[in-house]
Amino acid sequence: MAEKIGLTRLTGSGEGSGECGQGDCPNVYRTDRGTFVVQGEHFAGFQPPEGEGLVEIPEAVLKEAFRALGW
């Protein structure tokens, strides 16, 4: 069973929040361990090592996450 990690949603809060139009994806989350989780369309342009994955998200979503963090 995977360890449960607390997530704080940094994007999807409104203006410029993404490509899906319903606020559900793509999104960036911050974990309670200080790491980030990215939700988005599956990216098939590169095969990552076993157990790893890649997603592609628009630049606007990262900018929104940076604003949420005050960067």
Q: Where are the domains of the chain?
A: 7-69
Q: How confident is the model at residue 26 (pLDDT cuts 50, 70, 90)?
A: confident
Q: How confident is the model at residue 27 (pLDDT cuts 50, 70, 90)?
A: confident
What global pTM score does this model have? 0.72
Specify the long-range contacts of residues 26-35, CB closer than 8 Å, at least 24 apart: 26/55, 26/57, 26/58, 26/61, 27/61, 28/57, 28/61, 28/62, 28/64, 28/65, 30/69, 31/5, 31/6, 31/7, 32/5, 32/6, 32/7, 32/8, 33/5
Q: How confident is the model at residue 23 (pLDDT cuts 50, 70, 90)?
A: low
